[in-house]
Amino acid sequence: MNKLAIAGSLAFDAIETPFGKREKIIGGATPYIALSASNFGVKPQIISVVGNDFTQEYFDVLHNKGIDTEGVKIDQNNKTMFWAGVYNTDMNQRKTLKTELNCFETFSPEVPQSYQEAEVLMLGNITPKIQQSVIKQFKKRPKLIVMDTMNFWMDIALQDLEETISMVDVLTINDEEAFQLSGEFVLLKAAKKILAKGLKYLIIKKGSNGALLFSNDGRIFSAPALILDTVVDPTGAGDSFAGGFTGYIASKGKTDFETVKAAVIAGSVTGSFCCEKFGTENLQQLTPNDISQRVKQFEELTKFNF
């Protein structure tokens, strides 16, 4: 089975939305990425750190879906990272109530030997320097390195961020971040400028407006968002997108435009499932049939005969 290495946060989340709340569920980027990817016939392998309070039941959530946690350090002197947030009525905004980095504050990733054969490396949204240290630990470069990031790092660590971008193949950001990173305010110009930093592909995530894929040879693909009846909890939707996206590519072992286009749909599929229940709850119980039915919905949504 092809392997997908995933570096990033692993945490406890407390989430409140108009549909209810959860006090202490598995969170951070890597569970969303790994659980989403696990639906595409790959072996997700997490690189992260947890504290002494990350009990077996939480590891089970990952192991039940065949996710490798050899690269997850256990910091016996610290607690697991914790995040608490609440969404407003129309889900457009969320307020962070608490962020306790705990063991994540001194996170120094170590890539196990058994992860070295990864087809794809997915770098969740963490300090650009740490993303770099993960890349450097791979003796054989994975076929595709994908990184997520956010405006925060553009504000406080732009030089490091630019360095990391120059080391990867795919960057996933939203449109506001693309404008900030490029200094352009026309999306196509922003995309070209960012691709010129050495990327093969750029993905612009637009939430309920779908996602755009830009290739460095000028091709563009537009993926719609599914029109969901109910969004219960949007937490982790971007990471679930990244998981479906990289899981699909790792399973195929190819990085051509046609494969990457389909991977954007795979990511849109897992991203949409993620929003329908709290945290990773929906991702834990997906079947291949759920995936293929929803891929069909995406096909239906965009097909036309002129």
Smallest separation, CB 139 to a copy of itself (Å): 33
Q: How far is the CB of 177 from a copy of itself (least distance, A)?
A: 15
Q: What are phi and psi of 95, to 5 degrees?
A: -115, 125
Distance of closest approach, residue 202 Cβ to a copy of itself, in angstroms: 12
Partners of residue 73 on adjacent β-strands = 49
CB of 92 to a copy of itself, least distance (A): 8
Closest CA to 115 of 67, 148, 76, 163: 67
Which CB, 159 or 305, lies closer to a copy of itself? 305
Nearer to a copy of itself among residue 121 and residue 195 (C-beta)? 195
In the complex with a copy of itself, the residue whose CB is nearer, 60 or 299, is 299
Listed in sequence order, the residues at least 6 apart from 132 whose beta carbon sits closer than 8 Å to its beta carbon are 160, 163, 164, 167
What is the smallest separation between the CB atom of 169 and a copy of itself, expressed in angstroms?
20
Q: Which residue do the tokens 């980027």 mark? A: 29
**Residue 78 or residue 240: which is nearer to a copy of itself going by CB?**
240
Q: How far is the CB of 271 from a copy of itself (least distance, A)?
A: 15
In terms of DSSP bridges, do strands 94-100 and 81-87 run parallel, antiparallel, or are they unpaired?
A: antiparallel
* Strand boundaries in 118-239, DSSP class E: 120-123, 144-148, 170-174, 201-205, 211-215, 220-223
Q: Which is nearer to a copy of itself, 19 or 152 (CB)?
A: 19
Is 97 or 228 the residue whose CB approaches a copy of itself more closely? 228
- Spatial neighbors of 78 by CB under 8 A, at least 6 apart, are 51, 52, 102, 103
Nearer to a copy of itself, 140 or 303 (CB): 303
Report in angstroms how near the CB of residue 179 gets to a copy of itself at its nearest.
8
Q: Which tokens sit at 9?
A: 């946060």
Calculated CA dihedral for residues 3, 8, 11, 16, nearest 10 degrees: -100
The distance of closest approach from Cβ of residue 15 to a copy of itself in the complex, given in angstroms and rounded to an integer, is 18
- b/e sequence 43-78, b meaning 16+ C-beta within 10 Å: bbbbbbbbbeebeeebbebbeebebbbebbbebeeb
Is there a contact between 14 and 83 (Cβ–Cβ < 8 Å)? yes
Nearer to a copy of itself, 46 or 262 (CB): 262
- CA proximity to 270, closest of 230, 229, 303, 226: 226
Binding site for a copy of itself (CB under 8 A): 89-91, 185-189, 191, 206, 208-210, 212, 220-225, 227-231, 258, 261-262, 264-266, 295, 299, 301-302, 304-306
